[in-house]
């Protein structure tokens, strides 16, 4: 088996996507994914706890990027500017090739309760990281929580639009548009 070939994690992701599309998530085993990638099952388990994690392998990096984005915003930045800095960093972590992968993963998530649950956990982890970092910068946990929830919603809606309909746009622009749309309805929510 070609264990010495580069990009083990990427090869496992592509193998998993192919197999999940061909035979379904539930019917696919970790051993089949490893074999399709030209690896051993042991190698897969060195990188991932289970087959589900192959699809969510970017979560720790996205959490770290969101935190770094908020932390890198200049002193005196407004609350929304801090959030924008975190979202921009998240957007810059993606490359156009991820649009197709995102579409494939979204289809798999929609068809699998197990993957839906894992996707919710990923979303929650990003929101919690943003909230904690925003709270540190702002000194206001409630405001940080609302902003984190708003930002994660804008990020995920923007990513979905970018993957499906706005492929020629930059992800950052699509997410910024989503955030602006949410900002525009806030006066209706607060009555101000």
- Among candidates 101, 98, 62, 68, which has minimal Cα distance to 85? 68
Q: What is the pLDDT along the chain (192 residues), one digit of tens a residue?
A: 444 557 899 999 999 999 999 999 999 999 999 999 999 999 999 999 999 999 999 889 999 999 999 999 999 999 999 999 999 999 999 888 888 898 999 999 999 999 999 999 999 999 999 999 999 999 999 999 999 999 999 999 999 999 888 778 899 999 999 999 998 887 776 666
Same domain, 82 and 162: yes
Q: Which residues constitute the domain of residue 39?
A: 8-54
Same domain, 45 and 140: no
CA distances from 42 to 6, 25, 35, 128 (A): 17, 20, 11, 32
Number of domains in the chain: 2
Look at residue 145 and tell me if it is in a domain: yes
Predicted structure pTM score: 0.87
Look at residue 133 and tell me if it is in a domain: yes
């Amino acid at each position: 088996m070609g264990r010495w070939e580069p990009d083990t994690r990427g090869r496992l992701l592509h193998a998993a996507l192919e197999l999940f599309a061909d035979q379904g998530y539930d019917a696919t085993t970790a051993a089949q994914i490893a074999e399709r990638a030209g690896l051993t099952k042991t190698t897969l388990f060195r990188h991932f706890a289970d087959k589900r994690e192959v699809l969510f392998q970017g979560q720790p990096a996205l959490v770290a990027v969101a935190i770094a984005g908020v932390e890198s915003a200049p002193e005196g930045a407004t609350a929304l500017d801090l959030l924008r800095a975190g979202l921009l960093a998240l957007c810059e972590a993606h490359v156009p090739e991820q649009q197709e992968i995102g579409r494939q993963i979204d289809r798999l998530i929609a068809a699998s309760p197990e993957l839906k649950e894992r996707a919710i956990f990923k979303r929650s982890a990003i929101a919690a990281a943003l909230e904690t970092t925003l709270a540190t910068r702002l000194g206001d946990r409630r405001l940080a929580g609302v902003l984190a929830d708003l930002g994660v919603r804008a990020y995920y809606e923007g990513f979905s639009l970018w993957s499906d309909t706005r492929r020629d746009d930059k992800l950052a622009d699509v997410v910024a548009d989503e955030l602006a749309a949410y900002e525009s309805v806030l006066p209706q929510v607060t009555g101000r």
